[in-house]
Amino acid sequence: MTETIIRLTDLRSDTRYATHAPQMPAQVRAATGHLEDALARPLHDLRISVTDRCNFRCVYCMPKDVFDKDYAFLPQSSLLSFEEIERAARLFVEHGVEKLRLTGGEPLLRKHIERLIEMLARLRTPSGKPIDITLTTNGSLLARRAQSLKDAGLTRVTVSLDSLDDTIFRQMNDVDFPVAKVLEGIAEAQHVGLGPVKVNMVVKRGTNDSEIVPMARHFHGSGVVLRFIEYMDVGTSNGWRMDEVMPSADVIARLNDALPVEPLEANYAGETAQRWQYRDGGGEVGVISSVTRAFCGTCSRARLSTEGKLYLCLFASSGYDLRTLLRNGASDAQISTVIGDIWHKRTDRYSALRTAATGLPEDAPPKVEMSYIGG
């Protein structure tokens, strides 16, 4: 495959990535429990980044050549407080959000995060249902925090793990962290009931694609849902390298040769992962085709950044400043109306950027069919 590289800079140093200051609404509107964007996509999921810091330096996310010892992370005063996060989350829930995912950086680096989880666990949907509260972690601190997270009200946990081979894993996290510690965290999360535990493996061709089958064999029959994610640019620090992308279709083909699989229906509309099950009853596996099969058409996710910016897409070039509203006396009704106005105007973003960077067609190719993998 021809190599294609498009360099992207750290967004904080690029003045093109300005923050929009939301306009205070002339008239407020009550949330109805259902909010759709300009393409009729409902808002169901909110990712909340609780810190910009991480103790790993994964090459596809926070590479050392950008996030070195001199990198200026956000001061504590710039981060949303737990009270501000809870307030914003409550307003999003009133608009129809049913799942909150806590992310980072590494979210377990945020001090006393259990207190935030306790606050969020008290939220209810307009119909009275509890909120699904999940957390994505690199697993380095999970073994000793799993019980307290569960006790605080965390529902599930997703662990990023790119290899079982200790040498490859240390190379990819780039801080010499051993894989055994992450596996301990996964086991403890299962033990305390933070499940089903999901494990995300970013597959980088030529680096860890040899780990596809070993990872599958390791988690086969364990109750852990393993998901393979196509290596991609995350929009802030690295570049598109199509020669390093292993399409999900190839992942499934390789997996099927060792452990035959068959497709499953999606759990819900807009689910990012394509679901498969082992034919021998050994559980479920998934693929997230971020590059070769963009899922923008059904995307129901928004992201609230560490400093209170609302992003409508991972690849959005700018965010909307909610922190100023939260701190400068805006009422709940005003902020709720602003959120509704922003989402109503949302249109596709990632598909266009992906097409420009990769040359792949705008329309998503069909799902991987069993005929492709010889099933």
Q: According to the annotation, is 47 in a ligand binding site?
A: yes
Q: According to the annotation, is 101 in a ligand binding site?
A: yes
Q: According to the annotation, is 370 in a ligand binding site?
A: no
pLDDT tens column, 243-302 = 788 999 999 999 999 999 999 998 877 788 999 999 999 999 999 988 888 778 889 999
CATH number for the domain formed by residue range(s) 34-350:
3.20.20.70
Please give the pLDDT value at position 357. Answer: 61
Q: According to the annotation, is 72 in a ligand binding site?
A: no
Q: According to the annotation, is 316 in a ligand binding site?
A: no
Q: According to the annotation, is 302 in a ligand binding site?
A: yes
Q: According to the annotation, is 30 in a ligand binding site?
A: no
Q: According to the annotation, is 278 in a ligand binding site?
A: no
Q: According to the annotation, is 15 in a ligand binding site?
A: no
Neighbours of 10 (CB within 10 A): 12
Phi, psi of 304 (to 5 degrees): -105, 115
Q: According to the annotation, is 58 in a ligand binding site?
A: yes
Residue whose token pair is 């780990």: 211
pTM: 0.87
Q: According to the annotation, is 105 in a ligand binding site?
A: yes
Please give the pLDDT value at position 240. Answer: 60
Residues of the chain with pLDDT under 50: 1-17, 235-238, 364-375
> Is the Cβ–Cβ distance between 127 and 34 less than 8 Å?
no
Closest CA to 340 of 49, 37, 19: 37
Q: According to the annotation, is 313 in a ligand binding site?
A: yes
Please give the pLDDT value at position 360. Answer: 66
Q: According to the annotation, is 217 in a ligand binding site?
A: no
Please give the pLDDT value at position 6. Answer: 28
- CA torsion sign, 352 to 357 to 361 to 363? negative
CA distance 300 to 47: 11
Please give the pLDDT value at position 275. Answer: 96
Q: According to the annotation, is 187 in a ligand binding site?
A: no
Please give the pLDDT value at position 372. Answer: 30
Question: Token pair of 253, please?
Answer: 């083909």
Q: According to the annotation, is 189 in a ligand binding site?
A: no
pLDDT tens column, 136-176 = 999 999 999 999 999 999 999 999 999 999 999 999 899 99
Question: Token pair of 368, please?
Answer: 């991987």
Q: According to the annotation, is 1 in a ligand binding site?
A: no
Q: According to the annotation, is 294 in a ligand binding site?
A: no
CA distance 18 to 281: 50
